Structure 1
Amino acid sequence: SDPLDEIPASEYALKPQISTVAVTGANDGIGREAARFLANAGFGVVLCSRDVAKGETAAAEIRSASPDARVRVVPLDLASVASVEAAAPLILSAADELGSPLRGLILNAGVWPGSQQTSTDGMELALQVCHIGHMQLTQRLLPNLQAAAAEAAAAGSAEARVVTVSSSAHAFADDVGTSDPLYASTAFDTNRNYGRAKFANMLFAQELAKRAPSGVLSTAAHPGLVLTTLFKELGPSYAAASAASVTGRSAVDDRLPRTPPLP
């Protein structure tokens, strides 16, 4: 049995029946497991996926295990400003179809390029996917989250949530690379590059916590070292991928509570 299924619904921050949560990168890894758990718990779930076919496969698996699951798939390519703009209203429409307003965002999708890559928008790929695209999406949906939070408060539920999936890899960087984002005059380093993107995630989550409208709570959650496609795409010879294959948790295991660090 799944240990998470033993958590009583009374302990959930949001009430499932009146809440829809959008999860980016929901077709694989941590995002997929988060979407599965939320749907099984009764939340409406919008699976945001760059690859719609993979998103539909994930949704079908969720429905197969839980026939009453409320799930929809929305195309979202965080490496494209135009795609994010198009996805925001689709997410809201999907929430309407699921019968409960959007009350949660899980900003999970990410890439860790093993070489320097630039998006079609001309931005450094990891920074746009991990941070800029998520910031853009959050800004578009904040008014709706605020309105839904007010409705939830009236029903005795908690505020709306924006959860940024963070990483200790932010320690690889000492800045977000704004002075030379495309490495015109500095050498590309894959660890530092990804670290910059995750550092930006941390700064965004912290600043959103200060600036978010009333009723919207911003948090950052570090899942630990998890063996997902993010690492596998780096190649078998890459040190991080090798370490993850030995010590990394699976995406399923990563949904479980972890022991707090020793003082």
Structure 2
Amino acid sequence: MSEQKTLIITGSNAGIGYTTALQAAKKGQRVIMACRNQSKADAARQTIVDAVPGADVLVRILDLSSFDSIRQFAASIEQEFDHIDALINNAGMMPSTLEHTTEGFEMQFGVNYLGHFLLTHLLIPVLSRSPDARIVHLSSLGHLWGNINEKNFRDRSPYLMGVTAYGQSKLANVLFSQELAQRLPANIVSNAVHPGFVDSDFFRNIPKAIYFFWRRVLVSPETSANFTLEMALAENWKDRSGEFVSAQGPLPKSPRLRNARLSQTLYEKSCQLTGATPLTKPALQAQVG
């Protein structure tokens, strides 16, 4: 990993995304922090630069809840950079009450999944100009309680504190990664990762007695970030695609991930919803040719 690579990390001004950006900077990589809030992103960048003098870290504004913002971001990236080596789709949210994106989608489905779906498709041209490009989708163990239901793409009642909506968005992330792996050119791979139960503010803010129990099974943000970066940069991940792995031991997987029809149907529907141009599977390309 001595040669500098250029990485885009969404939602990298806080949490795991921030730690991933920091660790990437320490490894000498160029990091593009794709964030919604300019002031928070600038502050996070400054903290990284202070910790890693000479770090090549840039901030670019991206609001995944707006298709217009996503298109503007992708267009500016393609104009500014001759290639991108890795896209880490990290940003995610879990509001406890029903919210909607600019286009009217349920916020978690819209931001955690559809926003990244459109972003990924729009960045494929600039990713394809790298000889070895990687796409890493951050999912979750929460995909286990997810179910893909078109009726819930825009509204969901009851909302149940956002838990079921979160599960749907994270299941969709993995299904997308798997389907994408079958459609990408040979020089781009797509994989998904469960970052593990990370020792973050979420756990530290719970009662001390419960935190004492949980901390035994928590991993550090650095462990999770470095695992993700290995997938994005390391030689041993160069030819691996369509996998779903965990930064923390064995990973139970939903049987829905083996449903090829569900994966393809969701992909085609997502192209319709976002206006993304569908990628054709190589086997279908050969038949057409």
TM-score (norm 2): 0.71
Aligned to 1:33: 19
Aligned to 1:77: 63
- d(CA) in 1 for partners of 2:29, 2:60: 16
The one-letter code matched in structure 1 to 2:26 is N
Aligned to 1:155: none
Aligned to 2:221: 251
Aligned to 1:153: none
- d(CA) in 2 for partners of 1:256, 1:69: 17
Query: CA shift at 1:62, angstroms?
Result: 1.5
Q: Render the CA deviation track for 1:143-167: whole Å, top value 9, x for unaligned.
A: 1111222xxxxxxxxx200000110
- d(CA) in 2 for partners of 1:224, 1:109: 15
Query: CA shift at 1:94, angstroms?
Result: 5.2
- d(CA) in 1 for partners of 2:18, 2:107: 22
Aligned to 1:160: 133
Q: Render the CA deviation track for 1:73-129: whole Å, top value 9, x for unaligned.
A: 000110111111111133345546xxxx31100000000111111122211000111
Aligned to 1:119: 101
Does residue 1:209 correspond to 2:191, yes or no?
A: no
Q: Render the CA deviation track for 1:214-244: whole Å, top value 9, x for unaligned.
A: 2000011111122546x48xx969xx99987
The one-letter code matched in structure 2 to 1:162 is I
- d(CA) in 1 for partners of 2:188, 2:116: 16
Aligned-residue RMSD, C-alpha: 2.8
* Match for residue 187 of structure 1 among 158, 168, 180: 158
Retained in 2: the 8 A contact 1:23–1:46? yes
- d(CA) in 2 for partners of 1:172, 1:242: 26
- d(CA) in 1 for partners of 2:133, 2:154: 35
How many residue pairs match? The answer is 229
The one-letter code matched in structure 2 to 1:110 is G
Aligned CA distance change for structure 1 residues 16 and 109 (closer, same or farther; 3 Å): farther
- d(CA) in 2 for partners of 1:45, 1:79: 22
Does residue 1:171 correspond to 2:144, yes or no?
A: yes
- d(CA) in 2 for partners of 1:136, 1:223: 22
Query: CA shift at 1:191, angstroms?
Result: 1.3
The one-letter code matched in structure 2 to 1:87 is F
- Of 250-259 and 75-84, deviating more is 250-259
Q: Which consecutive residues of structure 2, in runs of 5 or more, have no partner in the other structure? A: 228-246, 253-289
Aligned CA distance change for structure 1 residues 204 and 61 (closer, same or farther; 3 Å): same
The one-letter code matched in structure 1 to 2:71 is E
Aligned to 1:105: 87
Does residue 1:198 correspond to 2:170, yes or no?
A: yes
Query: CA shift at 1:255, angstroms?
Result: 3.0
Q: Which consecutive residues of structure 1, in runs of 5 or more, have no partner in the other structure? A: 1-8, 10-14, 150-158
The one-letter code matched in structure 2 to 1:79 is S
Does residue 1:86 correspond to 2:72, yes or no?
A: yes
TM-score (norm 1): 0.78
